[in-house]
Chains A and B, each alone.
Chain A
């Protein structure tokens, strides 16, 4: 059977099962990709809010992150379909405070998702700390999304269920050297990424072994339908209906 990804294949779907609660880590592939990773974290929070059918979004931003990459901008969030009356922005001075605030927010029954951006290091954010966050998320039924900045992916050992590395999707370079030939932005511009799954709890995203940590895939978020889907910038073959599901052995050999 020819497996062809459907256009709205939401690979994260199990994560948003009703009131499940969980903890995900979103790393940026390179330091400049941090805004893209944060945008992905916003998208996950939006998706979690939609799955829950309400609840508040809490953004926890360390001062250092705010200086580096700015604060979440209300108008941009509104354009992405966020209801600002259900949003709280918490600014913290230190990473330790960020973890504390995140745990408090996850425990609260009023929150649908908590996004934390902080410069965490391995001394502060370890297995015990992440386990606390995961338990708090399970108790409150909220999705915790941690976007650690300045930490190389994979170096941290944690209890998070999902760890995704995000890179900004590079734009196609125009063939012509003329600057006037520069194309307009893709309409989905802030919501297009390249992702690879570094870690997923067994059974979370299908059977173990199905995820290839080295495989980069393009993913997009549709703010109108509040859904993730695979993005296919290149053409892909249409599903062939007039062909046997598996090619004949003789042909395969040839």
Chain B
């Protein structure tokens, strides 16, 4: 196992300095209010040279360096930046994790040779981050904790994979106890006991250490010396089906991006076919030269592994994104296409199945719905599933087409009572006049217009579900009513007069 850790010591100040390229101030620091006093939280390289350090009071820092530029610390933005950089790190390996507050962890097992070896990979990452405006140190080790400690506390950048345990122990022994990454109290306790570095801990017998500082300390110690396997939590699970293309120069034109997606789809489909699955959800990731990462996702209504169809879907999504403005900047140099969700799909049977009458097949409809969903959003392309629920609003579920097609028409569902053609998403309250409190409506006012009912049908009584956990629901009496102009309404009165409520309320639920 090989892990790469990146340490960004000046992340907070770099975040702001990156914006003003070239015109860096004399000295720059961030401050925050701690218990009523303004104190520095991060300083840049020049400020550090002048003797400023985090924790110093702002007034003292100003006195020492009058030209100091200050900005308020923003831990949230820092955390977002670390997450964004972890996304950026996925250009090297799919297993990249943020290591808050100021680092990244990458699992580069078996990936380093793609970048010319581990030493070259370290150099590549550091120079790329430097070009993006970050101060960075990277290190590779057989365990993540060791790599993390190397990047932060050591000059060694690379530990060989076949290093023996004694060598690792010797290397770790020189780190200060901060490398364990424990809470401040535990570390202070260790210092009080005279333990300064990892070597002190390694020399001591383990049982008293565990008794005094907790089992956590020993776990960390074992992780640091690679005695236990300590996995990282990548920001995204690595998809099993992924295709990738890299370009020496960034792509900026939308046609180039679409053409690349087509080729990526052609690369992806054989993988899907070998595994006997089809893609239900696709994600294309664009890595911009300057570090930004854009993603577009598309869902399909059925398992799909036809390159042309996949490509058409992505092209649709791409042009939808481009309409809103795909900021190409200096161009995208790495493009990835992954099937993030797959479903098993049998090989298509061709030639023996006659196309259904009318020409249109389910395939065609599925294609159409995928294309519409890619552009409009998956939640806006719906299919209607009849449900066995007796409340009218739940009798039909509108399910996004990407989540499966409804079952074919069944006769049992067809014999439903008279229902309106249109239903409001939520019933609209009206004022109705009825001759009796539990009688049919005579007149009602809906949207400020008084309607006089000339014909009606009803009531149809629909009781509230007693098995649910909403005892406040009332029985409804539904009426079909027609007013003088011929408009048809589906009204209901909520609550049985005298039994459930003394003031039943009326609603319009549908029109037809």
- Interface on A for B, CB 8 Å cutoff? 19, 32-33, 35-36, 38-39, 42, 52-56, 58, 66-67, 69-80, 83-93, 97, 100-101, 104-105, 108-112, 141, 167-174, 179, 182-186, 189-190, 192
**Chain-A contact segment, one of B118-126, B149-157, B351-359:** B351-359
Closest chain A residue, CB of each to CB of B434:
A179
| Least CB distance, A63 to chain B, in whole angstroms | 9
| Least CB distance, A28 to chain B, in whole angstroms | 11
Given the known interface contacts A91-B382, A179-B442, the answer about A168 and B396 at a Cβ–Cβ threshold of 8 Å is: no
**Chain-A contact segment, one of B137-145, B168-176, B367-375:** B367-375
- Contact indicator B395/A35 (Cβ below 8 Å): no
- Contact indicator B510/A73 (Cβ below 8 Å): yes
Residue-wise, chain B 476-494 has the 8 Å CB interface mask toward A (1 for contact) of: 0000101111111000000
- Contact indicator B384/A76 (Cβ below 8 Å): no
| Least CB distance, A108 to chain B, in whole angstroms | 4
CA distance A179 to B442 in the complex (A): 7
Q: Which of B375, B408, B488 is A85 in contact with, Cβ under 8 Å?
A: B408
For B510, the chain A residues whose CB sits under 8 A away are: 70, 73, 76
User: What are 11 residue pairs bridging A and B, where the CB atoms are less than 8 Å apart in the complex?
Assistant: A39-B421, A70-B424, A78-B413, A79-B416, A85-B405, A89-B382, A89-B383, A90-B382, A92-B376, A110-B362, A184-B456
B1 CB–A CB distance under 8 Å: no
- Contact indicator B487/A88 (Cβ below 8 Å): no
Q: List residues 438-461 of chain B with CB under 8 A from any CB of chain A.
A: 440, 442, 449, 453-457
Interface of A is mostly: mixed
Closest chain B residue, CB of each to CB of A183:
B455
For B442, the chain A residues whose CB sits under 8 A away are: 179
| Least CB distance, B46 to chain A, in whole angstroms | 50
- Interface on B for A, CB 8 Å cutoff? 356-369, 371-372, 375-376, 380-386, 392, 395-396, 398, 401, 405-409, 413-414, 416-425, 435, 440, 442, 449, 453-457, 480, 482-488, 510-512
For B424, the chain A residues whose CB sits under 8 A away are: 70-71
Given the known interface contacts A35-B512, A91-B380, A184-B457, the answer about A168 and B487 at a Cβ–Cβ threshold of 8 Å is: yes
CA distance A32 to B398 in the complex (A): 26
- Contact indicator B375/A100 (Cβ below 8 Å): yes
Interface of B is mostly: mixed
CA distance A197 to B421 in the complex (A): 24
| Least CB distance, A40 to chain B, in whole angstroms | 11
- Contact indicator B386/A78 (Cβ below 8 Å): yes
- Contact indicator B421/A80 (Cβ below 8 Å): yes
For B409, the chain A residues whose CB sits under 8 A away are: 83-86
| Least CB distance, B410 to chain A, in whole angstroms | 9
For A58, the chain B residues whose CB sits under 8 A away are: 368
Q: Which of A70, A78, A87, A109 is B359 in contact with, Cβ under 8 Å?
A: A109
Q: Which of A36, A71, A80, A108 is B486 in contact with, Cβ under 8 Å?
A: A36
CA distance A245 to B344 in the complex (A): 71
Closest chain B residue, CB of each to CB of A100:
B375
- Contact indicator B382/A170 (Cβ below 8 Å): no
Given the known interface contacts A79-B418, A84-B409, the answer about A90 and B360 at a Cβ–Cβ threshold of 8 Å is: no
Given the known interface contacts A76-B512, A110-B367, A182-B456, the answer about A53 and B384 at a Cβ–Cβ threshold of 8 Å is: no
- Contact indicator A36/B487 (Cβ below 8 Å): yes
| Least CB distance, A64 to chain B, in whole angstroms | 13
Given the known interface contacts A83-B409, A84-B409, A108-B367, the answer about A32 and B421 at a Cβ–Cβ threshold of 8 Å is: no
Given the known interface contacts A85-B406, A85-B408, A97-B376, the answer about A71 and B425 at a Cβ–Cβ threshold of 8 Å is: yes
For B392, the chain A residues whose CB sits under 8 A away are: 73, 75
Given the known interface contacts A75-B416, A85-B409, the answer about A173 and B454 at a Cβ–Cβ threshold of 8 Å is: yes
- Contact indicator A87/B384 (Cβ below 8 Å): yes
CA distance A73 to B416 in the complex (A): 13
Closest chain A residue, CB of each to CB of B509:
A70
For B482, the chain A residues whose CB sits under 8 A away are: 171, 185, 189
For B421, the chain A residues whose CB sits under 8 A away are: 35, 38-39, 42, 72-73, 76-77, 80, 190
Beyond contacts A72-B422, A85-B383: 5 other A-B pairs, Cβ-Cβ < 8 A, are A84-B384, A89-B384, A170-B486, A189-B482, A189-B512
Q: Which of A53, A141, A167, A185 is B455 in contact with, Cβ under 8 Å?
A: A185
Q: Which of B363, B380, B382, B484 is A171 in contact with, Cβ under 8 Å?
A: B484
CA distance A173 to B512 in the complex (A): 20
Given the known interface contacts A108-B368, A171-B484, the answer about A141 and B359 at a Cβ–Cβ threshold of 8 Å is: yes
CA distance A17 to B356 in the complex (A): 19
Given the known interface contacts A56-B360, A85-B406, the answer about A185 and B384 at a Cβ–Cβ threshold of 8 Å is: no
10 closest A-B pairs by beta carbon, nearest first, are: A110-B364, A74-B396, A54-B358, A168-B486, A110-B360, A73-B423, A110-B365, A70-B422, A190-B512, A108-B368
| Least CB distance, A179 to chain B, in whole angstroms | 5
Closest chain B residue, CB of each to CB of A108:
B368
- Contact indicator B364/A38 (Cβ below 8 Å): no
For A169, the chain B residues whose CB sits under 8 A away are: 486
For B486, the chain A residues whose CB sits under 8 A away are: 36, 167-171, 192
| Least CB distance, A250 to chain B, in whole angstroms | 45
Given the known interface contacts A70-B511, A91-B380, the answer about A101 and B372 at a Cβ–Cβ threshold of 8 Å is: yes
CA distance A192 to B372 in the complex (A): 33
- Contact indicator A56/B455 (Cβ below 8 Å): no
For B512, the chain A residues whose CB sits under 8 A away are: 35, 39, 76, 189-190
CA distance A97 to B511 in the complex (A): 25
CA distance A112 to B365 in the complex (A): 10
